[in-house]
Structure 1
Amino acid sequence: MKQQIKRVLQQINDQSGIQEIKSVSGGDINEAFYVKTEEQTYFMKGNQNVPSHFFKAEASGLEAIRHTQTVSVPEVYYYDEPDENEIGMMALEWIEASSTYDSSEKLGEKLALMHKQTADHYGFGEPTFVGELDQPNEWKDSWVEYYRDNRLHHQYLIGKENGRINGKRQKRMETLLTHLDKFVPAEPSASLLHGDLWGGNYLTSKEGEPFLIDPSIVYGDPQFEIAFTELFGGFAPSFYSSYQQVSPLYSEYKEVKPLYQLFYLLVHLNIFGEMYGSSVDRILKKYIGN
């Protein structure tokens, strides 16, 4: 991988000389590195088993967030669009994370401001990824249509193919998809969403500033984003209180929250397996019954 790092440095015209390269935590999908040159430091990641638009999708998402001038994101210096079996690389600004500061309150406020950036349709106009799974993201006029076809039905098809959605689970999913308009608002705000916002996808800088990383960008119902933040333990109470001071949750949020969490549980079912099956079944029973 060192040769690939050298290649990227050449691409971004940093010929100052490498001082340090070390492996760092970068998720389950990519190899990740801290790279220090005489000129500056970088976060680089690489992968040989991703589609050509994998890093481009991340770069587009980070740029969309940066354009809002709300929540900070690391700068993107370079990304590959690799051919099949070719190693692809991405180079970003290195953010020195701090455990001294709690930026939850600031993140809630800035995320609410980000959610005020809206589009006329739902989607993003280019495909993205959720984890390692592709995420079709074409524009739709209706949120129900987008959430049904691009999110729940897409994961349903993956689950059928890998054998994790069958029997009663399959029948309940099919019934839910048919009647989704009874449970999901048709035309909520088409807000800019990070799309994969859990505790591992934001960090706090040494200056106490929250940074978002690894987006799966979509314009959609902002409550969809908040529902995911509550799925695996939730964020600090100050995050939610500061968010609602800027952008209050609508009154039906508690009713639709499990249905929005269902998408992410289906993703985890399809990636990690049956350990998430009971949670999927519980939500399907809530809305469809036995």
Structure 2
Amino acid sequence: MDLFAQIAAELSTALDRPVVIDRTQTLGGGSINHAFRLDTSAGHVFVKTNHADRADMFAAEAAGLDELAAATALRVPRVLARGSTDTQAWLALDYLELGGPPAPARFGEALAQLHRHTADTFGWTCDNTIGSTAQRNTPHTDWVGFWQSCRLGPQIEFAKLDGAPRGLIGDCERLHDDLPAFFIDYCPRPSLLHGDLWSGNWGYGSDGAPTLFDPAVYYGDREADIAMTELFGTPGAAFYAAYDAAWPRDAGYRVRRTLYNLYHILNHHHLFGGGYASQAARMAGSLRAELRG
């Protein structure tokens, strides 16, 4: 059975009615997966595909979308079906029309609502990916320990393997060891996080509803989500004002924002190389300077 025949069959089972694919349109914009819009007898469907050995990545993404949907704070695409052929893994979701009127204040309020969904431990029930990089989510009762072993630590090891400058590696190793100093007066709760909240992973529906997609879900410090909204484009001042009105950020956020975004810049160095090493070095250097006072 070829890919789209399998997708049609699985959608028929999931939706409990025959689904016929009338048209397949290739979509651009992604650097990790191939994406398609299917015009079907059951409506539009969004499908992403990758190599068959990436089936676990799609399983984790589907679980993350379900976790976010259960919180009912923000719109996310509904998971319809997933599967794999001998050569390709795939994930089928509701096709969401984006590009509606921006509603940043509504988005800020809704994100604060999402973050009020908490767990007993940091991490999650399964590992997932950040971009295409494996992301460890081993549950921890201690946030600092989680960030050391599941976030900063693995990126330091990638940096060594990738031949990053020794000065950058040394600064990151010292930050790893000194991490408790950033949390002396701050004890975050394990909040439900999108996990990869740059501007390419959120938008506004045709009705203006804030919408999230492409998550890297885990439970962690809510500041990590907010920090990423400032890394590659931002939702605007009204978003942050509304978030703070619903749940004010701690005064130490300004410093920890750099700490959390360092993880993503190190990951971009791992994935893409280029100038991300020098950006990471500047961030690590500024964090070391904060510790020196």
Aligned partner of 2:267 in structure 1 is 267
Shift of 1:180: 0.9
Distance 1:253 1:175 in 2: 20
What do the CA deviations read for 1:81-117 (whole angstroms, capped 9, x no partner)?
A: x58x730011000111234x01222111111000000
Distance 1:39 1:233 in 2: 35
Aligned partner of 2:277 in structure 1 is 277
Greater mean alpha carbon deviation, residues 264-273 or residues 200-209:
200-209
Shift of 1:26: 4.9
Aligned pairs for 1:170-185 within 5 A: 170-184=169-183
Aligned pairs for 1:83-122 within 5 A: 86-99=87-100, 101-122=101-122
Aligned partner of 1:57 in structure 2 is 60
SS of the residue 1:74 aligns to:
coil
Alignment partner of 2:82 out of 57, 79, 84: 79
- Give the aligned residue type for 2:26: S
Shift of 1:175: 1.2
Q: Return closer, same or farther for 1:148/1:16 CA change in 2, 3 Å cut-off.
A: closer
Do the aligned partners of 2:8 and 2:20 also contact (CA within 8 Å) in 1?
no
What do the CA deviations read for 1:141-198 (whole angstroms, capped 9, x no partner)?
A: 110001111000111111111212x421121111111111111467311100000001
Aligned partner of 1:152 in structure 2 is 152
| Unpaired runs of at least 5, structure 2 | none
Alignment partner of 1:69 out of 65, 68, 72: 72
Alignment partner of 1:45 out of 23, 48, 57: 48
Q: Return closer, same or farther for 1:50/1:202 CA change in 2, 3 Å cut-off.
A: farther
Distance 2:168 2:144 in 1: 21
What do the CA deviations read for 1:220-272 (whole angstroms, capped 9, x no partner)?
A: 11011111111123221111111111111011111211111111111111111
Aligned partner of 1:35 in structure 2 is 38
- Give the aligned residue type for 1:23: T
Do the aligned partners of 1:190 and 1:219 also contact (CA within 8 Å) in 2?
yes
Distance 1:234 1:190 in 2: 24
Do the aligned partners of 1:118 and 1:192 also contact (CA within 8 Å) in 2?
yes
Distance 2:71 2:82 in 1: 22
Do the aligned partners of 2:9 and 2:19 also contact (CA within 8 Å) in 1?
no
Aligned pairs for 1:125-204 within 5 A: 125-164=125-164, 166-184=165-183, 187-204=187-204
Distance 2:142 2:80 in 1: 35
| Unpaired runs of at least 5, structure 1 | none
Distance 2:32 2:11 in 1: 24
Distance 2:98 2:232 in 1: 22
Output the aligned Cα RMSD.
1.9
What do the CA deviations read for 1:42-96 (whole angstroms, capped 9, x no partner)?
A: 001111164331101101110111111111111101112x58x730011000111
Distance 2:42 2:4 in 1: 15
Distance 2:286 2:205 in 1: 41
Distance 1:127 1:259 in 2: 22
Q: Return closer, same or farther for 1:16/1:284 CA change in 2, 3 Å cut-off.
A: closer
Greater mean alpha carbon deviation, residues 237-246 or residues 213-222:
237-246
- The alignment-based identity, stated in percent, is 31
Do the aligned partners of 1:142 and 1:187 also contact (CA within 8 Å) in 2?
no
